[in-house]
């Protein structure tokens, strides 16, 4: 049996004491539920998993994207081997191939974003 690091246990205790159950459940569901992004150029992709190891399904392949430094109010994820580059800003996301310099998908939104809500990935960062 492996013991958890004391840092983790104290942080977990603090969260259990202060976090509302609905906030914790909302964050967990945002990590486990796949989010389908529909794009203006009739493309789509699916994201799932935690922000630090975001899984992107694009054209029948799955990519583990690494979070990159980005400007405030935006997020950027890259898969260096393939060149995929996902940029999420408030009202939309765009998918690029940085190796070829092509924009693969533009004006991408989840169903929640089409209803006026913020991208779930940006909400998880708050």
The per-residue pLDDT for range 30-60, each reduced to its tens digit, is 556 899 999 999 999 999 998 888 999 999 9
Length of the chain, please? 126
Binned at pLDDT 50, 70 and 90, residue 61 comes out as: very high
Q: Which pLDDT belongs to residue 27?
A: 44
Q: Which pLDDT belongs to residue 126?
A: 57
Q: Which residues contact 56 (CB under 8 A, 6 or more apart)?
A: 45, 46, 47, 62, 63, 65, 77, 79, 84, 86, 95
């Amino acid at each position: 049996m492996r013991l958890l690091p004391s840092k983790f246990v104290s942080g977990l205790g603090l969260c259990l004491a202060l976090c509302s159950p609905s906030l914790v459940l909302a964050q967990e569901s945002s990590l486990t539920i796949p989010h389908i992004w529909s794009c203006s150029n009739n493309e789509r992709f699916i994201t799932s998993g935690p922000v630090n190891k975001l899984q992107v399904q694009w054209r029948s392949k799955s990519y583990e994207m690494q979070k990159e430094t980005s400007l405030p109010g935006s997020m950027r994820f890259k898969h260096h081997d393939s060149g995929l580059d996902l940029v999420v800003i408030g009202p939309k996301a765009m998918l690029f191939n940085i190796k070829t310099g092509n924009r693969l998908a533009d004006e991408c939104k989840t169903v929640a974003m089409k209803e006026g809500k913020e991208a779930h990935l940006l909400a998880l960062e708050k």
